[in-house]
Amino acid sequence: MIYLDNAATTKMFEGGADIYKKYACQSFFNPSAGYNKSIEIAKELDGVREHIKRRLGTTKGSIIFTSGATESNNLAIIGSKRNGKWEYVFSLGEHPSVYNVARFLESQGHIVHFVGLTKNGQVDYEVLRRVVNDKTRLISVMHVSNETGAVNDLVKIGEIRKERCPQALLHVDGVQAFCKLPFNIEDFNADLYTISAHKFHGPKGVGVLYVKNPSGLKNIVYGGGQEGGYRSGTENVPCIMAMKYAIENIDVEKNYQYVKGLKDCFIENIEKADGVSYLQTESPYILSLSFSGVNGETLMRALQDKDIYVGVGSACSTKKAGNRVLESMGMNIDEIKSHIRVSFSEELKLDEIRKACHEIIDTYYTILEKVK
């Protein structure tokens, strides 16, 4: 198998699975209980919080454990909402777990602005500058596009916020960036930052919301008051500890350079084929391609018969027609229909990349002959 859909999910580290078993079957205690073994688990969770903050590049703020990116994004946006004539700003490139929350706010009568994308997939900074104002409550912009690999200039966005609306909160969906791109959160001063473990070889069902100032956030889940009252429900200790294992065993700089080599190799091989175009974006982990004259989903299904797995966009929205992100970049319907997404991992080998390119090109030409 050659797995090229790592933006959808990654293979969990086997060592993380061992950690999961340990905390599920041996150190299985509820961290909210009052006896010593539970208190020790609670202390370990606090250690994980500090570890994540260090990886983000800060000692400030709080770490809230959630069930994943969707919950973290919902908590960040709904939890930041306030009564009054506040305005909310989102890019059109956001993941459905942000975009659909924005549409919900709009349906509730709130003033919501959507900022389009440029042809390179980044948010249009000039439009953003014009849209934000002294009534802006929240700006929500993803770090790395899950569709294209475009990396938004968060430092520039932070400067726009400081200049035009210093009272606004900045939320960043960092799902495709954390443990993949080297960065320091203090360089762009995000108030809220979303993380999902299964995007970097951790388990599914666990995520994080970093909150710089918890007093600016309200809970959206009610219950026993866990996670400082911001996210009630017994913490998923096995998954949290397995996530910590993944973070500890990822060398961001080393992986970045290696995966960049994989992407460069893929491009070098795939661009030899007539009818194939691609977006040159900053993240080495994601590559968006179009295969002229062939439906991307048809190509994806044909490749799976050869045990090669690619994506056709966000795994959370592949059953829906069209592609909001690519449309916002100015792509026409034919380009969108012929689109696939290839996403890489440091566990791939160069020989696998070359083989995959050969099979993708061969499969593309085979399908093209049939549809002519």
- Which helix (DSSP H) or strand (DSSP E) does residue 103 occupy? helix 96-107
Which residues face 310 on adjacent strands?
Answer: none
The CA distances from residue 252 to 3, 285, 338, in Å, are 20, 12, 32
Please report, as a single letter, which amino acid is at residue 96: P
- List the catalytic residue out of 165, 179, 265, 316: 316
Residue among 146, 151, 171, 152 nearest 89 (CA): 171
b/e burial code for range 262-286 (CB count within 10 A of at least 16 → b): bbebbbebbeebeebebbebbbbbb
Please report, as a single letter, which amino acid is at residue 261: G
Do 16 and 250 contact (CB within 8 A), yes or no? Answer: no
Do 357 and 266 contact (CB within 8 A), yes or no? Answer: yes
149 φ, ψ (degrees, to nearest 5): 85, 5
The CA distances from residue 226 to 16, 43, 154, in Å, are 24, 14, 31
Q: How many CB atoms lie within 10 A of CB 104?
A: 14
In angstroms, the CA 323 to CA 107 distance is 22
Residues 6 or more apart in contact with residue 249 via CB below 8 angstroms: 13, 15, 201
DSSP letters, 16-54, are HHHHHHHHHHTS---TTSSSHHHHHHHHHHHHHHHHHHH
Task: Tell me if residue 165 is catalytic.
Answer: no
Helix, strand, coil shares of the chain, percent, nearest 5, are 40, 15, 40
Do 241 and 19 contact (CB within 8 A), yes or no? Answer: yes
Q: Residue 144 carries which DSSP code?
A: B
């439906």: which residue's tokens? 295
In angstroms, the CA 344 to CA 310 distance is 10
Residues catalogued as catalytic: 316
